[in-house]
Amino acid sequence: MVEENLRKAAKTLFDEGKVKLIIGFEEGSLPMRASPAFIRSADETKRLTWNSFCENNLASYIRYYIPSLEDGERIGVVAKGCDARSLICLLKEKQFKREQIVIIGVKCQGMIDWKRIRDEVAPDDILEAKEEKDEIDVRTRSSQKKFKKSDYLYDNCQECDRREPVINDFIVEAAEQGTGKKDRWSRIKEFEQMTPEERWKYFKEETSRCIRCYACRNACPVCYCSECFVDSTMPYWVGTTLESSDVQVFHLIRALHTAGRCTYCGNCTQACPMGIDIAFLVGKLSKDVQELFSHEVGVDPDEPPALSAYSEKDSNEDFA
């Protein structure tokens, strides 16, 4: 039903001439995968899909269409809760004007961490996966097994309390999907109970696997700088080697760069080929910003970005 309503809404937008492009999802070429789809006509809207594998934050693709927006084109974006919050962040940073984007909101049910299911059936390859009401039915060459969806959501989806888009031009009808079953920031709260030495050990172990592919940066909806600090040679901000100090500095600077801007969507973690939980590292700063400045990222379009506003009530202590 959601998929049908989504296609109908998209077709209406094209038929009424309200958009030139819709960024949504289509079925991927492998089981348990959905790929970003770039729909250019009403006839192509039948490619649109919606399921528990539509994990990408589609706000990440807006940066590639800025020239089209400046030429007067309007773009439609299929947005779940975290996508919509990222769009608000980009809107406040004046990456586009509100009237240039049509937000097709979809209530999110939480996305499935397909790598966990893949690892459980390995070394068998998954030949087919069907999404049923509460389960994923997976078939391999030697077995068929069902996985309870709520047990295999991404960590950030299990903590999410903003699954419904906070900004939209219309919502595609869907059943109420509730919120994550874990408390917001539950894993980060556990991290905060560690000693500084234990935190640093965790950080070193995580970043030791980094190969500097920059997939995390490229997947991030708020990493849109025309020249990233890691590519700059004048000034030369950070070394580009795989020496631990260079890798650690890269992740520290990037985390600070996204502080107060990260919606904890998990795009960076999902993109990392080395399985580094980068969203967790950045999420700690989002939690700090929320607590220190009473600023929740991507919720209020009219509220100025936390780190570009000043209040005499701001705390100057304990920002760590």
Tell me the pLDDT band of 317, cut-offs 50, 70 and 90.
Answer: low
Q: Is the peptide bond before 67 cis (omega within 30 degrees of 0)?
A: no
Percent of the chain with pLDDT over 70: 94
DSSP three-state, residue 46: helix
Neighbours of 176 (CB within 10 A): 8
Counting residues of the chain whose pLDDT is more than 90, the rounded percentage is 71
Q: Using pLDDT thresholds of 50, 70 and 90, give the confidence band for residue 175.
A: low
Give the C-alpha distances (Å, rounded to integers) separating 80 from 6, 18, 134, 140, 201. 12, 21, 19, 31, 35
Looking at per-residue pLDDT, the higher value among 212 and 302 belongs to: 212
Please give the pLDDT value at position 318.
Answer: 56
CA 145 to chain centre: 29
Look at residue 320 and tell me whether its pLDDT is greater than 60.
no
| Both tokens assigned to 9 | 């809404």
> Which string of b and e fits 127-146 if b means at least 16 CB within 10 Å?
eebeeeeebbebbbeeeeee
Taking the domains of the chain in order of start, what are their residue ranges?
Answer: 1-113+153-308, 114-152
The pLDDT tens digits of the residues spanning 52-108 come to 999 999 999 999 999 999 999 999 999 999 999 999 999 999 999 999 999 999 999
Selection from 209, 215, 214, 245 nearest residue 229 by Cα: 214
| Alpha-carbon gap, residue 3 to 116, rounded angstroms | 25
pLDDT the model gives residue 280: 85
Whether the Cβ atoms of residue 145 and residue 121 lie closer than 8 Å to each other? yes
End-to-end CA gap in the chain: 46
pLDDT of residue 182: 76
Bridge partners, residue 145, by sequence = 138
Report helix, strand or coil for 230.
coil
pLDDT at 169: 95
- The CA distance from 211 to 216, in Å, is 11
Task: Write out 242-284 in H/E/C secondary structure.
Answer: CCHHHHHHHHHHHHHHHCCCCCCCCHHHHHCCCCCCHHHHHHH
Averaged pLDDT for residues 201-220: 95
Which of 53-67, 110-124, 301-315 shows the lowest per-residue confidence on average (mean pLDDT)?
A: 301-315
Bridge partners (DSSP) listed for residue 76: 22, 102
For residue 206, pLDDT beyond 90: yes
> Structure pTM?
0.91
Note the pLDDT tens digit of each residue in 120-150.
999 999 999 999 888 999 999 999 999 999 9
